């Protein structure tokens, strides 16, 4: 070995040593909360590694501890499909609901064992981390997705990397010990600890910005920040709670899964317990409530999961949530504050809603300055007067409400009577109230507030999911007369958008692409987007499943409509009323003319591609990504966002990137569009 070679050899060795050492100390500090060296010592070793890597840039690997930060700010986030939907949880608010759930679990479980694992319900946001085979036989973090709409999330990998409790790589030894394949997925919750939240708000205050409302929003905002350096400074924490692999579950149950995650180096929340009955659940809940204030991060309840995976499988899912888990939400928290004013807003249906403007007060971890007052009757019944002291209540995500007016020596009554407006505060037309209804409504079809709210609803995430169609944009589109109803969105041009405030060519194109993408959202979402009274997500889905096209839905009689599970006379009447209006029929025609897909996926799925997983990359000659995905899924196949050994085929188009390289590396067969279509034909 020459002197130069020896020096190179030593550097390689030292780099490996330092990486292993830094990973070990990161784990001690960020996962186990038990540091063994000072921050200064850690920084010193990190600097040594940085210097060595700077001298040998060819040796830098993405899982090196130096690579947590240093990414360039991104220009936006790419969307990717979840391997399996990310679901939500059903809630229980009291002992009785918990007992009901336990009873159902036992009924459905039959002879299978019923044990439970209780965990904290962390108040953060869920993310999915995909690990893929690394060259050395281990696994490395390849993709981090937000929950998004549950089906499709956003790729926030660069930001996830900065979270120190997320291992960037898992050594081969550990995988073997736990009998884990090199490709797997870990799901859990990203939270912002209270300390970080306070710090953030001090910073914001210093910059003259309004404070973030709560740690969960702050964490969500942070993860979607385009500059990873900012994310790194926020010190988010990731708690793992699910481990998914293709096919078989590895561990037999939830508690064993949490053990496995711990062994893999993930941070798992220590407050968990295996138990048999509701009594033990109630004890766990009570002790958790007592510790709540001293945890250092926010929780909004307790999650109880049926432990055994076999039993979970038997219990299955209802629409959006597993039957084998429940979230026990803590009781509402209350505070007393003063009513400063009452503000009226006009909703999408024209309904006038009064909102209490309150002196800001801290309740259950957030600052509250507004509360809903429901309607005119509510104000009257409460006898609310501006200046009154009121008790407000907040439970979980629900908008805070006013529960009573306080009157004592310290809390004298207010003086200023509030009179409910007789004109719409936005368009100034007289408002009307139907006989047996509680609400005042603006019935002017051209009321700008109604149009604005309808557009916002149409673009909302769980409706047409048009990202970027927020309040500021919608208001400008309306002010400039570019849009009068939702169908106008589909005729917008780049030139029109570029003129908007804070819009460049790039953002204009992005928004247009989002609008274009929404055309494929399908019948259920369009039906919801139309804003028919009483028709929410579930009803819209059932209508789509039943009728299959907008034409069939519009032609349906009351009787036919009421064959749908959720539809009774009240809803069928609302639907008939809606389509009886010529303006609404015209709206549907315009959507049709804009090629908005108003058909529903067939309920019966064929199974030619069952068991196969596809990864799409690059631009296909005729199919959009969504088209290709829909076709594959309709044939029973799965589409995944990342390439792994489990990928059956990769479908590559023009400008396919690293995924294609990866596929070659793993010897995964590559199809072009024609190949895919051929396969679908068979
Ligand atoms: S299990 C299908 N476990 O609560 C199972 N979720 O209301 C859903 N969450 O979206 C996830 N702590 O973001 C689970 N220990 C925990 C959790 C937890 C917080 C969140 C999660 C989920 C939401 C559902």
> pLDDT (tens digit, 9 = 90+) per residue, 420-469?
999 999 999 999 998 878 889 998 888 999 999 999 999 998 899 999 99
Query: From the CB of 89, is ligand 1 less than 6 Å away?
Result: yes
Q: What is the CA radius of gyration of the chain?
A: 28
Q: Do 345 and 421 meet the contact criterion of CB atoms below 8 Å apart?
A: no
Element (H, E) at 140: strand 139-146
Query: From the CB of 396, is ligand 1 less than 6 Å away?
Result: no
Query: From the CB of 303, is ligand 1 less than 6 Å away?
Result: yes
The mean-pLDDT minimum among 72-76, 138-142, 339-343, 386-390 falls in 72-76
Q: Where do runs of H (alpha helix) occur along 154-193? A: 157-161, 172-178
Q: Do 390 and 404 meet the contact criterion of CB atoms below 8 Å apart?
A: yes
> pLDDT (tens digit, 9 = 90+) per residue, 120-170?
999 999 999 999 999 899 999 999 999 988 888 999 998 999 999 999 999
Per-residue pLDDT band for 60 (boundaries 50, 70, 90) equals confident
Query: From the CB of 240, is ligand 1 less than 6 Å away?
Result: no
Q: How far is the CA of 324 from the centre of ligand 1 (A)?
A: 12
- Asked if pLDDT for residue 397 goes beyond 60, the answer is no
pLDDT at residue 604, as a whole number: 44
Q: Which of 75, 72, 71 is nearest to 507 (CA)?
A: 75
Query: From the CB of 524, is ligand 1 less than 6 Å away?
Result: no
Nearest ligand 1 atom to the CA of 86 is 2
Q: Which of 118, 122, 185 to mutate to test the pocket of ligand 1 (most atoms within 8 A of CB)?
A: 122
Between 491 and 363, residue with greater pLDDT: 491
- Asked if pLDDT for residue 65 goes beyond 80, the answer is yes
Q: Which of 268, 302, 264 is nearest to 33 (CA)?
A: 268
Encode burial over 345-376: b for 16+ CB neighbours within 10 A, e otherwise.
Answer: ebbbbbbbebbbebeeeebbbbebeebebbbb
- Asked if pLDDT for residue 596 goes beyond 90, the answer is yes
Element (H, E) at 276: none
> pLDDT (tens digit, 9 = 90+) per residue, 637-653?
888 888 888 888 899 88
Query: From the CB of 119, is ligand 1 less than 6 Å away?
Result: yes
Q: Which of 119, 126, 304 to mutate to test the pocket of ligand 1 (most atoms within 8 A of CB)?
A: 126
Between 328 and 31, residue with greater pLDDT: 328
Q: How far is the CA of 87 from the centre of ligand 1 (A)?
A: 8
Report the C-alpha gap between 193 and 203 in whole angstroms.
16
Per-residue pLDDT band for 365 (boundaries 50, 70, 90) equals low
Q: How far is the CA of 672 from the centre of ligand 1 (A)?
A: 38
Protein residue whose Cα sits closest to atom 10 of ligand 1: 88
Q: Do 454 and 348 meet the contact criterion of CB atoms below 8 Å apart?
A: yes
Q: Give the SS3 label for residue 431.
A: strand
Query: From the CB of 87, is ligand 1 less than 6 Å away?
Result: yes
Report the C-alpha gap between 173 and 117 in whole angstroms.
28
Protein residue whose Cα sits closest to atom 8 of ligand 1: 88
pLDDT at residue 192, as a whole number: 94
Q: How far is the CA of 101 from the centre of ligand 1 (A)?
A: 17
**What is the longest distance spanned by two Cα atoms in the chain?**
96
Q: Which of 97, 147, 245 is nearest to 462 (CA)?
A: 147
Report the C-alpha gap between 638 and 615 in whole angstroms.
9
Quick one: average pLDDT of 605-618?
A: 76
pLDDT at residue 657, as a whole number: 79
Q: How far is the CA of 500 from the centre of ligand 1 (A)?
A: 39
Per-residue pLDDT band for 605 (boundaries 50, 70, 90) equals very low
Report the C-alpha gap between 164 and 159 in whole angstroms.
11
Per-residue pLDDT band for 2 (boundaries 50, 70, 90) equals confident
pLDDT at residue 437, as a whole number: 80
Query: From the CB of 126, is ligand 1 less than 6 Å away?
Result: yes
Protein residue whose Cα sits closest to atom 16 of ligand 1: 121
Q: Which of 82, 121, 315 to mutate to test the pocket of ligand 1 (most atoms within 8 A of CB)?
A: 121
* Catalytic positions: 121
Q: Do 618 and 658 meet the contact criterion of CB atoms below 8 Å apart?
A: no
Protein residue whose Cα sits closest to atom 13 of ligand 1: 126
Encode burial over 410-448: b for 16+ CB neighbours within 10 A, e otherwise.
Answer: eeeebeeebebeeebebbeeebeeeeeeebbbbebeebe
Q: Do 159 and 123 meet the contact criterion of CB atoms below 8 Å apart?
A: no
Q: Answer whether 0.85 is exceeded by the pTM.
A: no
Query: From the CB of 327, is ligand 1 less than 6 Å away?
Result: yes
Q: How far is the CA of 11 from the centre of ligand 1 (A)?
A: 45
The chain-wide mean pLDDT, for the chain, equals 89
pLDDT at residue 629, as a whole number: 86
> pLDDT (tens digit, 9 = 90+) per residue, 516-558?
999 999 999 999 999 898 888 878 988 998 899 999 999 999 9
> pLDDT (tens digit, 9 = 90+) per residue, 320-350?
799 999 999 887 778 899 999 999 999 988 9
498 burial type by CB count under 10 A (0-12 exposed, 13-18 middle, 19+ buried) = middle
- DSSP assignment of 214-237 equals -HHHHHHHHHT-S-HHHHHHH--E
Q: Which of 82, 84, 85, 89 to mutate to test the pocket of ligand 1 (most atoms within 8 A of CB)?
A: 89
Strand partners, 306: 116
Quick one: average pLDDT of 216-237?
A: 85
pLDDT at residue 539, as a whole number: 86
Nearest ligand 1 atom to the CA of 187 is 11
Query: From the CB of 91, is ligand 1 less than 6 Å away?
Result: no
Encode burial over 26-61: b for 16+ CB neighbours within 10 A, e otherwise.
Answer: bbebbbeeeeeeeeeebeebbeebeebbeeeeeeeb
Q: How far is the CA of 313 from the centre of ligand 1 (A)?
A: 18
């Amino acid at each position: 070995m020459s002197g130069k070679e020896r020096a190179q050899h030593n550097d390689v060795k030292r780099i490996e040593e330092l990486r292993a050492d830094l990973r070990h100390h990161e784990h001690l500090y960020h996962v186990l909360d038990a540091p063994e060296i000072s921050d200064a010592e850690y920084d010193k070793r990190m600097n040594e590694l940085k210097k060595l890597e700077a001298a040998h840039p060819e040796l830098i690997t993405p899982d090196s501890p130096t690579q947590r930060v240093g990414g360039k700010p991104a220009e936006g986030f790419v969307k990717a499909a979840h391997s399996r939907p990310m679901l939500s949880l059903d809630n229980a608010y009291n002992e009785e609901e918990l007992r009901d759930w336990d009873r159902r679990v036992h009924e459905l479980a039959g002879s299978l064992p019923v044990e439970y694992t209780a965990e904290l319900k962390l108040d953060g946001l869920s993310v999915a981390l995909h690990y893929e085979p690394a060259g050395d036989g281990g696994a490395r973090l390849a993709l981090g997705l937000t929950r998004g709409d549950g089906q499709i999330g956003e790729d926030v990998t660069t930001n996830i990397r900065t979270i120190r409790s997320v291992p960037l790589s898992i050594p081969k030894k550990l995988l073997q010990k736990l009998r884990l394949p090199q490709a797997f997925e870990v799901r859990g919750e990203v939270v912002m600890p209270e300390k970080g939240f306070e710090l953030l708000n001090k910073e914001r205050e210093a910059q003259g910005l309004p404070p973030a409302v709560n740690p969960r929003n702050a964490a969500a905002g942070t993860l979607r920040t385009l500059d990873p350096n900012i994310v790194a400074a926020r010190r988010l924490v990731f708690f793992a709670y699910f481990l998914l692999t293709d096919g078989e579950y590895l561990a037999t149950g939830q508690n064993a899964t949490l053990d496995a995650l711990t062994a893999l180096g993930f941070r798992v929340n220590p407050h968990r317990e295996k138990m048999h009955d509701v009594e033990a659940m109630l004890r766990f809940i009570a002790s958790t409530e007592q510790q709540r204030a001293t945890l250092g991060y926010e929780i909004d309840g307790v999650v109880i999961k049926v432990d055994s995976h076999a039993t979970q499988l038997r219990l299955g899912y209802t629409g959006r949530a597993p039957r084998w888990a429940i979230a026990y939400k803590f009781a509402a928290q209350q505070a007393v504050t003063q009513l400063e004013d009452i503000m009226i807003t006009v909703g999408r249906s024209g309904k006038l809603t009064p909102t209490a403007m309150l002196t800001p007060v801290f309740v259950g971890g957030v600052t509250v300055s507004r509360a809903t007052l429901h309607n005119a009757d509510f104000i009257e019944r409460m006898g609310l007067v501006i200046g009154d002291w009121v008790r407000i209540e907040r439970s979980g995500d629900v908008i805070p409400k006013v529960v009573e007016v306080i009157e004592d020596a310290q809390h004298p009554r207010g003086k200023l009577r509030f009179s409910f407006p007789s004109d719409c505060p936005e368009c100034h037309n007289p408002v009307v109230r139907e006989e047996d209804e509680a609400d005042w409504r603006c019935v002017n079809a051209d009321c700008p507030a109604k149009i604005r709210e309808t557009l916002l609803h149409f673009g909302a995430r769980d409706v047409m999911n048009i990202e970027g169609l927020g309040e500021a944009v919608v208001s400008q589109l309306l002010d400039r007369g570019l849009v009068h109803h939702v169908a106008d969105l589909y005729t917008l041009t780049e030139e029109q958008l570029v003129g908007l405030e804070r819009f460049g060519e790039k953002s204009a194109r992005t928004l247009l692409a989002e609008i274009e993408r929404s055309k494929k959202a399908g019948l259920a979402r369009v039906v919801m987007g139309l804003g028919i009274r009483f028709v929410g997500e579930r009803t819209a889905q059932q209508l789509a499943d039943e009728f299959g096209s907008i034409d069939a839905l519009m032609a349906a009689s009351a009787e036919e409509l009421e064959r749908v599970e959720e539809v009774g006379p009240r809803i069928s009447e609302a639907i008939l009323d809606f389509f009886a209006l010529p303006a609404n029929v015209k709206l549907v025609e315009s959507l049709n003319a804009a090629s908005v897909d108003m058909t529903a996926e067939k309920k019966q799925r064929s199974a030619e591609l069952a068991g196969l997983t596809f990864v799409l990359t690059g631009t296909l000659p005729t199919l959009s990504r969504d088209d290709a995905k829909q076709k594959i899924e309709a044939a029973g196949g799965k589409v995944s966002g990342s390439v792994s050994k489990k990928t059956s085929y990769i479908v590559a188009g023009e400008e396919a990137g690293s995924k294609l390289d990866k596929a070659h590396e793993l010897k995964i067969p590559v199809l072009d569009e024609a190949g895919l279509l051929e396969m679908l034909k068979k």
